[in-house]
Amino acid sequence: MSLFPSEENTQGSETIIGQSVKVDGNFRGDGNVTVDGEVQGSLKTNHDLKIGVTAKIKAEVEARNLILSGEIKGNIKIREKTQLNKSARIHGNLETKILIVEEGAILNGKCTMVNDQIQIPEIKKASK
C-alpha cells in the first residue's frame, strides 16, 4: 500500500518542488509534498512527504509519512511510517513509528522507533 494515491506520479501531492527548483529557508506545508529538487533549512508538513531519487535535502524534516528515494542530510521526525527505497540515503537521526527498508538503502545515524505516535506539533495555518 502506497502512502500516496500513485507512486508513479504526483497526483496526491498539493505541493511539488521540481527537479530544477532549489529552496533555501524554511518550507512549511499542510498537505502532501513531493520533492525532486533541493531544499536547505527545514521541511515540514502535516501530511505525507515523498522525496524523489533526484532530491537532495539538507534540512530538518518533519511529516506524517515519508517515502524516501533521494538523500536527506539532517534529522528526521516522522509520526507514522517511513519507507526507505533502495536509493535512499540518510545522514542524520531518524524517529519513526514504522520503518520499511529496501536492500541498498543507507542510514547513517541513530534510528529510534516508538510504539506511540511521535509528538510533533501541528503546523498552524497562517491567518488571512
Grid cell of 76 as nine digits = 528526521
In a domain, 73, yes or no: yes
In a domain, 65, yes or no: yes
In a domain, 95, yes or no: yes
In a domain, 3, yes or no: no
The continuous run of DSSP H or E covering 95 comes out as strand 94-96
In a domain, 71, yes or no: yes
Grid cell of 23 as nine digits = 529552496
Tally the domains of the chain: 1
Confidence of residue 94 (pLDDT cuts 50, 70, 90): very high
In a domain, 61, yes or no: yes
In a domain, 127, yes or no: no
The model's pTM is 0.81
> Is 78:119 a contact under the CB 8 Å cutoff?
no
First to last CA, the chain: 37
Cβ burial of 117 (10 Å; 0-12, 13-18, 19+) is exposed
pLDDT in tens, 55-79: 999 999 999 999 999 999 999 999 9
Q: Provide the residue range defining the domain that includes 24.
A: 15-113
In a domain, 2, yes or no: no
